Chains A and B, each alone.
Chain A
């Protein structure tokens, strides 16, 4: 009897072994039962869903973000239509006011001079203009968000996962939904990508800085009848300033990283040259542009660090 049974089963196909049991994924289940959706339906559904809300979303987002385009266009136009003998001294003047160090001014002059000498002046200035606009907006938005976070534990719990996600998403992924929402020729596309990517450290460090203010000092502020506003502007923000400045430094560095990637979506500047180096296998062009970005990074880092040191020196540990 058992022989007969074995013959009946094994005659057509070998018995499926437990060894080959597939994981019950969507695709495997779909094979067994056609009514269960396949995995590609998930990505397709997501895409379709996004396309469905896209028009409504851009109806809202487009006007709100339009000033960003104007600012970027304005900054790019201004920096390229002002003669170099005004722009370079202006940058050096800013360096001096922020850092108060002649050595650093000399270093910045040498770096910009070198970039201009090898005819990378325009590209470098475009990159700088974009970074200035985006970093400025990051501080403008990020500091108030950080302050809000520091005042409410609930807000902190809600915002931290968002910040974690923004920080860990691969930078290219930001660009995908933005391409759907906005026209690729518009500067706000890369502006938004840069801001989203670079705003994280300034928010985090503003929150941290305010939370680290000595509770004894806050108690003294309360005991002398300070209002919340007086406490915020008179005590918390000034004492958190070293941390906020460290956040600004990180934000500027991260916008520089993103501005290179954003050249994929028509952001002008040194990134375009890097991209050309990759696309056309022009080794020299890519490398020189890359080194130019390193120079810009060093300048920006040194200048913001010098201003941070100045803030630190004026209030030390103290309390």
Chain B
């Protein structure tokens, strides 16, 4: 994963809400905590010392509970919110130095955004909504119609072009939102809790759609969510935020197996690990087989797949392959061990964290 170029580099980003953020920033840098800052100066620490590399062509998921600052963070990437301090480098350029015209160009051509509440234009048709980015650039309807129709077809909305957003269901409205972002042909897609407002089944559909689109288009996606299952399903790189600071970031499988602190342990303890963990995360890289081999499994298979293949027999061993090449061995015993969180969450941790 580290072989991909960095598309967006966030460096020492701070955001403080209040009357005099610069003065408050000094105090935060001197070590004042979020509750103290609120108590003593009536400033809210939104983001504190964020350093994240967002890599080209991958999906970076930023996860946190409500109030953790994740929606604030994503709005810094296209400057819908101005930071108090720090740098946001897109393709190596600090976008905080951009003037209004450059910023507009960034938003029109290089970044697109999908919103939690869809934020479609109620007075425009589905087609006109999908073509927003093109329309804003000054492209005439006759020219953008084909492009917008193509993307609407791609997200499964062929035939709805002339309807108005209020005539569509929530899931369909968000499909328009995604088509609108895709039609801009930007390399970067920002998705702010894009599926959180949808019903669970529709949410799963939309996640599958996104995975499918991403396999085809390889956009740089920044996805915000409060749902760990969703995060694990979509993420190539996972960033966990709490109280405006990054608690842990890295490869999702790694975070799941090696949670850095009790907050994350508590989080991951609720997860169906068999469905999320992949064979490559629990296999042993070895030379020869340690015993009788029951069969072969792909390294990207989930543990759930393997359990169903093995029919629950924990004495079996499997060969692990990648693109048909042998890369290691999976012992069913290791698999079963991995299903239990390394350090089970103690009761009351969540209470302790929020206190």
Contact between chains at A224 and B113 (CB < 8 Å) = yes
Q: Which residue of B lies closest to A230 (CB)?
A: B136
Contact between chains at B107 and A224 (CB < 8 Å) = yes
A216 at the interface (CB under 8 A from B): yes
Q: Which residue of A lies closest to B104 (CB)?
A: A225
Name the A residues within 8 Å of B109 (CB-CB).
225
Name the B residues within 8 Å of A152 (CB-CB).
none
A1 at the interface (CB under 8 A from B): no
Contact between chains at B166 and A317 (CB < 8 Å) = yes
Q: Min CB distance, A13 to chain B, in Å?
A: 67
Q: Which residue of B lies closest to A228 (CB)?
A: B100
B112 at the interface (CB under 8 A from A): yes
Contact between chains at B107 and A315 (CB < 8 Å) = no
Given known pairs A223-B78, A318-B166, the reply for A239 and B122 (CB within 8 Å) is yes
Contacts between chains A and B (CB distance < 8 A), count: 78
Contact between chains at A315 and B123 (CB < 8 Å) = yes
Contact between chains at B121 and A235 (CB < 8 Å) = yes
Q: Min CB distance, A216 to chain B, in Å?
A: 4
Contact between chains at B136 and A217 (CB < 8 Å) = no
Q: Which residue of B lies closest to A241 (CB)?
A: B123
B contact residues, range = 20 to 34
A282 at the interface (CB under 8 A from B): no
Q: Which residue of A lies closest to B109 (CB)?
A: A225
The complex places the Cα of A235 from the Cα of B3 at a distance, in Å, of: 43
A314 at the interface (CB under 8 A from B): yes
Contact between chains at B119 and A219 (CB < 8 Å) = yes
The complex places the Cα of A224 from the Cα of B136 at a distance, in Å, of: 8
Q: What is the 8 Å Cβ interface bit string for chain A, positions 293-319, against chain B (1 contact, 0 not)?
A: 000000000000000000000111111
Q: Min CB distance, B73 to chain A, in Å?
A: 15
Q: Min CB distance, A310 to chain B, in Å?
A: 13
Name the A residues within 8 Å of B112 (CB-CB).
223-224
Q: Which residue of A lies closest to B110 (CB)?
A: A225
Contact between chains at B104 and A319 (CB < 8 Å) = no
Contact between chains at B123 and A318 (CB < 8 Å) = yes
Q: Which residue of A lies closest to B105 (CB)?
A: A225
Interface set, chain A 65-103, CB cutoff 8 A to B:
none
The complex places the Cα of A223 from the Cα of B104 at a distance, in Å, of: 9
A contact residues, range = 20 to 34
Contact between chains at A220 and B115 (CB < 8 Å) = yes
Name the B residues within 8 Å of A7 (CB-CB).
none
Q: Which residue of B lies closest to A315 (CB)?
A: B123
Contact between chains at A315 and B122 (CB < 8 Å) = yes
Q: Min CB distance, A139 to chain B, in Å?
A: 20
Cross-chain contact of B122 among A217, A221, A224, A230 (Cβ < 8 A): A217
Contact between chains at B120 and A224 (CB < 8 Å) = no
Name the A residues within 8 Å of B104 (CB-CB).
225, 227
Contact between chains at B108 and A225 (CB < 8 Å) = yes
Q: Which residue of A lies closest to B180 (CB)?
A: A224
B133 at the interface (CB under 8 A from A): yes
The complex places the Cα of A51 from the Cα of B122 at a distance, in Å, of: 54
Contact between chains at B122 and A316 (CB < 8 Å) = yes
B253 at the interface (CB under 8 A from A): no
A148 at the interface (CB under 8 A from B): no
Name the B residues within 8 Å of A239 (CB-CB).
121-123
Contact between chains at B108 and A217 (CB < 8 Å) = no
Contact between chains at B107 and A219 (CB < 8 Å) = no
The complex places the Cα of A314 from the Cα of B123 at a distance, in Å, of: 7
Q: Which residue of A lies closest to B177 (CB)?
A: A220
Name the B residues within 8 Å of A220 (CB-CB).
113, 115, 119-121, 132
Name the A residues within 8 Å of B106 (CB-CB).
225
Contact between chains at A319 and B122 (CB < 8 Å) = yes
The complex places the Cα of A223 from the Cα of B164 at a distance, in Å, of: 21
Interface set, chain A 185-235, CB cutoff 8 A to B:
214, 216-217, 219-227, 230, 235
A238 at the interface (CB under 8 A from B): yes
Interface set, chain A 8-40, CB cutoff 8 A to B:
none
The complex places the Cα of A224 from the Cα of B105 at a distance, in Å, of: 9
The complex places the Cα of A219 from the Cα of B115 at a distance, in Å, of: 9
Given known pairs A217-B122, A316-B122, A318-B122, the reply for A224 and B108 (CB within 8 Å) is yes
Given known pairs A223-B80, A225-B108, the reply for A316 and B166 (CB within 8 Å) is yes
Name the A residues within 8 Å of B107 (CB-CB).
222-225
B34 at the interface (CB under 8 A from A): no
Contact between chains at B166 and A219 (CB < 8 Å) = no
Contact between chains at A219 and B122 (CB < 8 Å) = no
Q: Min CB distance, A304 to chain B, in Å?
A: 20
* Residue with the highest number of chain B CB atoms closer than 10 Å, among A222, A223, A314, A317: A223
Contact between chains at A216 and B115 (CB < 8 Å) = yes
Name the B residues within 8 Å of A226 (CB-CB).
136
Contact between chains at B80 and A318 (CB < 8 Å) = no
Interface set, chain B 110-155, CB cutoff 8 A to A:
111-113, 115, 117-123, 132-133, 136
Cross-chain contact of B164 among A217, A230, A316 (Cβ < 8 A): A316
Q: Min CB distance, B297 to chain A, in Å?
A: 43
Contact between chains at A319 and B120 (CB < 8 Å) = yes
Q: Min CB distance, B295 to chain A, in Å?
A: 50
B299 at the interface (CB under 8 A from A): no
Name the B residues within 8 Å of A238 (CB-CB).
123
B249 at the interface (CB under 8 A from A): no
Name the B residues within 8 Å of A235 (CB-CB).
121
B184 at the interface (CB under 8 A from A): yes
* Residue with the highest number of chain A CB atoms closer than 10 Å, among B105, B113, B123, B180: B123
The 8 closest A-B pairs by CB, nearest first: A318-B122, A225-B107, A225-B108, A220-B119, A318-B166, A223-B113, A225-B104, A216-B119
Q: Which A residues contact B (CB, under 8 angstroms)?
A: 214, 216-217, 219-227, 230, 235, 238-239, 314-319
27 intermolecular pairs with C-beta atoms under 8 Å apart? A216-B117, A216-B119, A217-B120, A220-B113, A220-B115, A223-B78, A223-B80, A223-B107, A223-B112, A223-B113, A223-B115, A224-B132, A224-B133, A225-B104, A225-B107, A225-B108, A225-B133, A225-B136, A226-B136, A239-B123, A315-B164, A316-B166, A317-B166, A318-B120, A318-B123, A319-B117, A319-B122
Other 15 A-B pairs with CB < 8 A, given A225-B103, A315-B164, A316-B166: A216-B119, A220-B119, A220-B121, A223-B112, A224-B112, A224-B133, A224-B136, A225-B107, A226-B136, A227-B104, A314-B164, A315-B123, A318-B122, A319-B117, A319-B165
